[in-house]
Amino acid sequence: MKILYVAAAATALLASPAAYAQNAGGTVGGAVGGAAVGAVVGGPVGAAVGGAVGAITGSALPPQPSVVYQGPVVVGETLPDTVTYYPVPEYDTYSYTILNNRRVIVDRRTHRVVRVIE
């Protein structure tokens, strides 16, 4: 039911005259329409996925030794099983590791990077 509501809200915003309003440069309507649709569609998805991960801070993670890692350390990248992972306190879904002196939060099952804490 929620999916239908989000889809209906997005459709209503796309069809509204405000979404098509533009100034001489043509950017205001696009920004307003894009922001409105992004907030309706992306907001719930981003909140569901990133809420817990955003709450995890570097100071909440116990110190561990850093490992030199040559591969890319970016969100979405899957790290190898050879890396040592530690459980994130109070978040059973996530683990972390320290790569190149940066704390990296990963999905516990897939080892996919979900956040890099600088």
Where are the domains positioned within the chain? 2-53, 58-117
What values do phi and psi take at 111, rounded to 5? 65, 25
Residue 85 binned pLDDT confidence (cut-offs 50, 70, 90) = very high
What are the strands of the beta sheet with 86-88, ordered from one edge?
A: 86-88, 91-99, 102-107, 113-117
pTM, two decimal places: 0.56
Q: Helix, strand or coil for residue 75?
A: coil
Q: CA-CA distances (angstroms) from residue 61 to 6, 75, 103?
A: 36, 18, 8
More confident residue, 56 or 19: 56
**What's the CA gap between 18 and 44, in Å, rounded?**
22
**What's the CA gap between 67 and 2, in Å, rounded?**
43
Question: Yes or no: is domain 58-117 CATH 3.40.640.10?
Answer: no
**What's the CA gap between 28 and 11, in Å, rounded?**
19
Does residue 25 surpass a pLDDT of 80?
no
Mean pLDDT calculated for residue range 18-28: 47
pLDDT tens track for 36-47: 444 444 444 344
What values do phi and psi take at 84, rounded to 5? -85, 130
The structure tokens 């950017």 sit at 27
pLDDT of residue 72: 92
